[in-house]
Amino acid sequence: MATTITAGNATNGGAAVSSDNTGILELKTGTGSGTTAVTVDASQNAGLGVTPSAWAGGQKALQFGIGGALFGDSSTPTAQVSSNTFFDGSNYKYIASTAASRFVQVGGEFTRNNAASGTAGNTVTFSERMRLDSSGNLGLGVTPNTWFSGYKVIETGSGSLVFPANATNTQLWNNLYLNAAGNAIYKSTGIGGLYSLGGGGNAHVWYSAPSGTAGTTATLTQAMTLDASGNLGIGTSSPDKKLNVSSSSGMYSAGIDRTGSGAKNGILVISDVTSDLAHPGFGLLTVGASSAGGTPTSGYKFAAWFINGGTEVGSVSYNGSGTNYNTSSDYRLKENIQPMTGGVS
């Protein structure tokens, strides 16, 4: 039973009150004996149109509909909105046999949690799906790292969509974040990377970081740049050609490999469909110099051929004034050997 207060209506004429000692209060509206509109239990939890579940553990709840609730903690400044769950003092429990969820506000942060469908009365196991921290950074399935001041971030596992403070570019980070001191930090052990779109006069910039240990500082190296003029630079941050490949590590700047057994097509074809071939001093391919007027150092090899794991078998080189074509001739590889005729005596 409960102490009830029934609003006045055509049947009872005025407000009707009945009381008992259960500590439960019911407010009724409607005609006749009325319909319970609000129930307040002995723990001061209220139900709108429903009897509140057995909330406990300092939770104070306003419950409504089939499983909806607005509640807070009497000892912690927390506010929560939930669906199909209540806290019994030890665990969250299902109200009905379906899925459950919670939206939590505490400490200046917002979190969204959900749980798969379960049986009414059973314990709910929630998983955090979203967190908006006090800096305004959003984590989807993760807690956002402490990013550099002013950065606004959407973080998902190892990846992050970043909007730097007071900048015009948008960035994608992988396995890295920029900490409060402005250092790139590995999220987990492995390689890292960064892609930046817009800002700094460059349309697109790619950075890479070698494999590192979680929690340590990463060193980012600008690996590729596509500038606002459409010049693509690999290994250089300032490309001055449509394709500019640079290397300072002793490795080849560029390589073209062909695999498989194809028809009689070249691996690299360079052609000119304009009238530039009629201009003396310029070719389709310039090797060893930055322009037709440049000069390589003596001994510079324009091209070299290798077999058997690195054995050089021929080359084209510069001798200081002209070009040398260097190759070897093995008597054992010759067929139909004949004396040379018409040669210079």
DSSP output for 155-190: EETTEEEEE-TT-S-EEEEESEEE-TTS-EEESSSE
Distance CA 219, CA 211 (A): 10
pTM above 0.75, yes or no: no
Q: Residue 276: phi, psi to the nearest 5? A: -60, -25
pLDDT at 308 over 70: no
pLDDT, position 257: 59
Question: Average pLDDT in the 102-114 region?
Answer: 95
Number of domains in the chain: 1
For the chain, count helices (H), then strands (E): 0, 27
Percent pLDDT > 70 in the chain is: 78
Query: Which residue matches tokens 């956002």?
Result: 144
Better pLDDT: 336 or 281: 336
Query: Which residue matches tokens 């104070």?
Result: 60
Would you say residue 150 lies in a domain?
no
pLDDT, position 319: 80
Q: In this predicted model, what pLDDT tens digit does every residue of 250-297 receive, in sequence order?
A: 555 666 555 655 544 455 555 544 444 444 444 445 555 544 445 667
pLDDT, position 247: 74
Would you say residue 163 lies in a domain?
no
pLDDT at 193 over 80: yes
pLDDT at 328 over 70: no
Better pLDDT: 243 or 33: 243
**Domain containing residue 306:** 276-321
Q: In this predicted model, what pLDDT tens digit does every residue of 205-226 receive, in sequence order?
A: 999 999 999 999 999 999 999 9
> Which of 26-35, 95-104, 257-266 has the lowest average pLDDT?
257-266
Question: Average pLDDT in the 163-178 region?
Answer: 88
Would you say residue 159 lies in a domain?
no
Would you say residue 85 lies in a domain?
no
pLDDT at 172 over 80: yes
Would you say residue 56 lies in a domain?
no
Question: DSSP readout, 304-328?
Answer: EEEETTTEEEEEEEE-SSSEEEEE-
Would you say residue 207 lies in a domain?
no
pLDDT, position 93: 97
Would you say residue 182 lies in a domain?
no
Distance CA 295, CA 323 (A): 12
pLDDT, position 28: 86
Would you say residue 115 lies in a domain?
no
Question: Average pLDDT in the 75-92 region?
Answer: 93
> Which of 9-23, 242-256, 266-280 has the lowest average pLDDT?
266-280
Mean pLDDT of the chain: 82
